Amino acid sequence: MQNIRHLSFTQIENYFSAINEKSFRAKQVYEWLWQKHAHSFDDMTNLSKELRSKLSEAFSLPALKIDTTQYSTDGTIKSRFATVEGFKVEGVLIPTEDRKTACVSSQIGCSLSCKFCATGYIERKRNLNFDEIYDEVVLINKQSEKMYEKKLSNIVFMGMGEPLLNYNNVLKAIEKISAEDGLGMSPRRITVSTAGIAKQIIKLGDDNVRFKLALSLHAANDYKRNEIMPINEANNIKALIDALNYFYKKTENEITFEYILFKNFNDSQKDAEELVKIYRQVPADLINIIEYNPIDNFRFTKPDEATTEQFMSYLEKHRVNTRLRRSRGKDIDAACGQLANKDRF
């Protein structure tokens, strides 16, 4: 049975025409699907019971549901969502005084095996469909409105999975999220984070996307990056620099580097020097220095405050726009790199 949310508005119009229903029914249904967020045909209360029954016989309407929720002492909320067939995937609401950010997932598990990321130790089951990604945002937005009386201000694709390995669904989800007949959110408030797939970054440029791009760098030379991010062996730093420059030339969209500090691995002055060299080769707006959040199976720890401050100071001294991103939701395994579908809810 076909998922009705995978039909275009014109296809829904054609369906109603085929069953001799008035064309305005298509607009009603489309609004229920994308603006009123109906998760069943019974929710569509301005349709007759007979028509709702016809729709349920002709189409399916699978949707993500919240399986369990955890609340951090710092206000962060982590939700585990369940797909219609029972797969689990996590998303996070990160509240600050001036922002309410949804961190969403794009895949169930991940195939990239980054050593510092808990999701990398989970087998990838499948990609999330664009309507499932849309559901994540809708459900997290409802949490934001309920808990903080504010809508989401930002969305980051920094949850489970590699967004550029689910390219079409991620772009279609963002299209729906930013559409006037969807959530109406500006794509400038959406950031897609990638571990670094050069040809897909180039494709983003060719597709003239309007959202921001973040590269998870985490090491400033190929030797170290190969050690913690196997994807680098096929997408080395030079290839990524070239791809990012192409992306910026095509879109002029904001580019950010993400860099997790690991004690005695990538936190020395030499590492900082190499990072500055990369920064100067790309029109990047910012380097986010991220606190490492411990996970099982990974040998590294985070450096002490003095080392972190020295690293930051070196970057600032060399006119690098940088920011230290403090971890949120560590007590519920909701911080960067910790999403793993653990049964700790």
Query: How far is it, in rounded angstroms, from Cα 176 to Cα 57?
Result: 26
Counting beta carbons within 10 angstroms of the beta carbon of residue 269, is it exposed (0 to 12), middle (13 to 18) or buried (19 or more)?
exposed
Question: Could you tell me which residues are beta bridge partners of residue 299?
Answer: none
- Examine the residue annotation and report whether 309 is marked as an active-site residue of this protein: no
Of the candidates 13, 90, 132, 136, the residue annotated as catalytic is 90
- Examine the residue annotation and report whether 90 is marked as an active-site residue of this protein: yes
Beta strands at 100-103 and 88-95: parallel, antiparallel or unpaired: antiparallel
What are the DSSP calls for 200-256, one per residue? Answer: HHHHHHHTT--SEEEEE---SSHHHHHHH-GGGGTS-HHHHHHHHHHHHHHH---EE
Closest of 245, 226, 227 to residue 298, by C-alpha: 227
Provide the b/e sequence for 59-84 (b: ≥16 CB within 10 Å). Answer: bebbbbebbeebbbebebbbbbbebe
Please name the residues in contact with 240: beta carbons below 8 A apart, sequence gap of 6 or more. 196, 198, 201, 215
Of the candidates 103, 114, 117, 336, the residue annotated as catalytic is 336
Which two structure tokens, joined as six digits, stand for 33?
Answer: 């699907």
Query: How far is it, in rounded angstroms, from Cα 230 to Cα 307?
Result: 27
Amino acid at position 278, single letter: I
Residues taking part in catalysis? 90, 336
